[in-house]
Amino acid sequence: MTLVRLAGRVLFADGAVRPAEIAIKEGRIAAIAPADEATDKSLLILPGIIDLHGDAFERQLMPRPGVHFPSVPALIETDRQLLANGITTAYHGLTLSWEPGLRGAEAAREFLAALAAVRPHLGCDTRLHLRFETFNLDMVEETEAWLAEGRIDLLAFNDHTSDITREIDSNEIGDYLGRTGLDAPAFRALAARVCARRAEVPAAVERLAAAAVKTGIPIASHDDDSPEMRARFRALGCRISEFPIDRATAAEAIAAGDATVLGAPNVMRGGSHLTRLAAAEAAAAGLCSVLTSDYYYPALLHAPFLLEHRGTLPLARAWDLVSCNAARAVGLTDRGAIAPELRADLVLIEDSDPTLPVVRASIVAGELRFASTVLPRAWYA
């Protein structure tokens, strides 16, 4: 349904919250005017949430180990979850690993085809964040082609071989067996063959980074473990540091003007489940510029309100972590704030209990895509 106006308490680009009426035309914000005092008790209107890294959709693809479902219904169900949590732009974090199964090449090809087919039926502006496992050398050429074809919106370099090798050594590979469909001897043999090609990895990373730079695709590095690692990736054109593991690495990234991405679940839980950098502390210190859903979509809605409620950040700065800063990190200049000429990507929130924000409506490019309340008829064309 097409909206032509909204009224409520609006979070402006300058950080102030004031009663206002927003005029919408052709999917964009046409004008913003002051509203009367009665509007002061209405819904809070915020810029739509931008999620740069969410992989909770994997639960729709494989709700139990070894139990697969098609990508199209999984994407449609995920779309509903996104909108119900105020996420209006989402980068699905699709892992392309050397493992078979859920994160393998065939699954990635099927997912890309399904995403292209189902996009007209999705309410959220849904994009692809390809999480390329750097030891997946057999997929370099095909990934390069996907970049050239415009099928990838964000490229990230991941390397989990050390984690996998460590778990192989400690006989804790049950989760991998469930998602790959391999038995233990076959998985160990595959990992050994992959690790034997370690010397080829740097050239593959350089090749894909150059291809992404050529096509203007933003690049992220995942789990940067030192300032030196961050600097190496920056030299390749990679300006997003996803989940830097300590303060020194995050500080190096921020000092160089890079974006640092941490998990909103980290904020909700009060710390990292891997005992790494705490997102709330990093945000307070200016070391976290973007929060992302990671593995739990609702966290992106709740984290900013928790940061305000705990006295960590004012809401305006906390909301920048899930909207404005995320837009800037990937070069989206048409969203992330409420201002004339920008896309009307907006979320209406009931915040009478600041510890329990509730999304009442999500609007994408001026279209009502989700509502849990009845909006006034005067707001529609």
Cα gap 331→187, rounded to integer Å: 39
Q: Residue 81: left (phi > 0), alpha (psi -120 to 50), or beta?
A: alpha
Q: Provide the pLDDT for residue 243.
A: 96
pLDDT one-digit tens code per residue, 94-119: 999 999 998 999 999 999 999 999 99
Q: Provide the pLDDT for residue 358.
A: 97
Contacts (Cβ under 8 Å, ≥6 apart) of 367: 1, 2, 3, 27, 123
Q: Please, are residues 369 and 86 in contact by the beta-carbon 8 Å criterion?
A: no
Q: Provide the pLDDT for residue 260.
A: 98
Q: Provide the pLDDT for residue 42.
A: 86
Q: Which CATH superfamily is domain 1-47+336-381 in?
A: Urease, subunit C, domain 1 (2.30.40.10)
Q: Provide the pLDDT for residue 24.
A: 98
What's the DSSP call for residue 149? T
Helix (H, G, I), strand (E, B) or coil at 377: helix
The residue assigned the tokens 């894909």 is 208
Q: Provide the pLDDT for residue 168.
A: 78
Q: Please, are residues 84 and 201 in contact by the beta-carbon 8 Å criterion?
A: no
**Domain 48-335 carries which CATH code?**
3.20.20.140
Q: Please, are residues 363 and 323 in contact by the beta-carbon 8 Å criterion?
A: no
Task: List, for the chain, all residue ranges whose pLDDT scores fall below the cut of 50.
Answer: none
Domain definitions of the chain by residue range:
1-47+336-381, 48-335
The token pair that represents 83 in the structure block: 């909108």
Q: Please, are residues 301 and 85 in contact by the beta-carbon 8 Å criterion?
A: yes
Q: Provide the pLDDT for residue 38.
A: 62
Query: Can you name the residues that pair with 9 across neighbouring β-strands?
Result: 19, 44
Distance of CA 317 to the CA centre of its chain: 18
Query: Can you name the residues that pair with 126 across neighbouring β-strands?
Result: 90
Cα gap 212→192, rounded to integer Å: 29
Distance of CA 362 to the CA centre of its chain: 17
Name the nearest CA neighbour of 262 among 10, 273, 212, 36: 273
H or E element, residue 348: strand 346-350
H or E element, residue 360: strand 358-364
Cα gap 206→112, rounded to integer Å: 24
What's the DSSP call for residue 78? H
